[in-house]
Amino acid sequence: MRNPPETRAPADAAARRAVAPVVCYPVEALPQPDMALYRAARATLESVETRRIEPRQGGCFRVPAGHFFRIRSVEGPQVGDLNLWSAADLAERFYSGKTRALHATHLSTGDRLWSCFPYLRPMATITHDTLDWYGVDEYGGRIHDVIGTRCDPYTHNLLSGGGQYHHCCHSNLSRALAAVLQKPARDVENHVHDVFNVFMCTGFTKDTGQYFTKATPVQPGDFIEFFAEIDLIGALSACPGGDCSTVQACGEAACHPLEVELLRPAPGALRGWIPPAANGYARTHAS
């Protein structure tokens, strides 16, 4: 429940509300991916390897620039929380908030996952999405959001009166990265960042503007596919929320595995493609 307003609406409230919105970042202003090239390249894809992410666990994977990867639903409806880092420097990581501002609250084919400052370049481009038919439902729900953060043991501790749960996505992603870096999870968890919520159906309630989730429509066989614009380390958590149909106590939702498949295009299929350079701002900040 949200607090009711304490301030009386002014006489011109209706007129002020009636002002039309403007889109902050017109998509046309962004450098556009060559989707025709990517589509031609994906017609030549050859599977390199497939990694299974167990329920309530996380796993890391590497994707060389110019390769594709798919996150696939297997066995049952399940959402995934995705982190991306530049394989060359973990300081360059996915920037959920700016990606949301540049594209939309939910992503699909043609949208890109952007990295943080000072790099601000596309890390990956979405090249296929078998749930793109969903669009928006009557509640305002859409698929694959960049509005949520990630479930984490700190918020859980806060809300549960001291609970110690170890399989929130934040912990799953921390353990996955820890295994790659061969360090304790607590020493690498500051690399874990706000996620791309794969397969999750979310929105904001129309009356109170609160973040909501509902059962994901994903079914086994569905996948979302990405093109790696730079060398990537990815981490994926099979969220303990399962299909996110209910607000379950941690660890009680039905959960399923996810798969990550690495795919390689045929030699020459990406002729003309150039990996994006880091952002061109000189970083003087007028100082």
The contact set with Zn ion (CB under 5 A) reads: 151, 169, 239
If the CB atoms of residues 79 and 262 are measured against Zn ion, the closer one turns out to be 79
If the CB atoms of residues 244 and 270 are measured against Zn ion, the closer one turns out to be 244
Residue 209 falls in which region: left (phi positive, over 0), alpha (psi -120 to 50) or beta: left
If the CB atoms of residues 123 and 169 are measured against Zn ion, the closer one turns out to be 169
Shortest reach from residue 239's CB to Zn ion, in Å: 3
Shortest reach from residue 170's CB to Zn ion, in Å: 8
If the CB atoms of residues 83 and 86 are measured against Zn ion, the closer one turns out to be 83
Alpha helices for 160-198 (secondary structure H):
169-181, 185-188
Q: Which of 207, 217, 219 is nearest to 139 (CA)?
A: 207
Contacts of 263 (CB under 8 A, 6+ apart): 42, 45, 46, 47, 48, 67, 68, 69, 70
If the CB atoms of residues 151 and 255 are measured against Zn ion, the closer one turns out to be 151
Give the 3-state secondary structure of residue 197: strand
Contacts of 140 (CB under 8 A, 6+ apart): 203, 204, 205, 206
Shortest reach from residue 20's CB to Zn ion, in Å: 37
If the CB atoms of residues 169 and 235 are measured against Zn ion, the closer one turns out to be 169
| DSSP single-letter state for residue 190 | G
If the CB atoms of residues 131 and 253 are measured against Zn ion, the closer one turns out to be 253
Separation CA 69–CA 265 (nearest Å): 11
Which tokens belong to 168? 């929130």
Separation CA 240–CA 79 (nearest Å): 9
255 φ/ψ angles, rounded to the nearest 5 degrees: -125, 155
Give the 3-state secondary structure of residue 32: coil
Shortest reach from residue 15's CB to Zn ion, in Å: 43
If the CB atoms of residues 54 and 89 are measured against Zn ion, the closer one turns out to be 54
Contacts of 101 (CB under 8 A, 6+ apart): 24, 25
Shortest reach from residue 165's CB to Zn ion, in Å: 11
Shortest reach from residue 156's CB to Zn ion, in Å: 10
Count CB atoms within 10 A of the CB of residue 250.
Answer: 17
Shortest reach from residue 172's CB to Zn ion, in Å: 8
Shortest reach from residue 188's CB to Zn ion, in Å: 18
3-state helix, strand, coil in the chain (%, to 5): 15, 30, 55
| Four-residue CA torsion sign, 48, 264, 177, 243 | negative
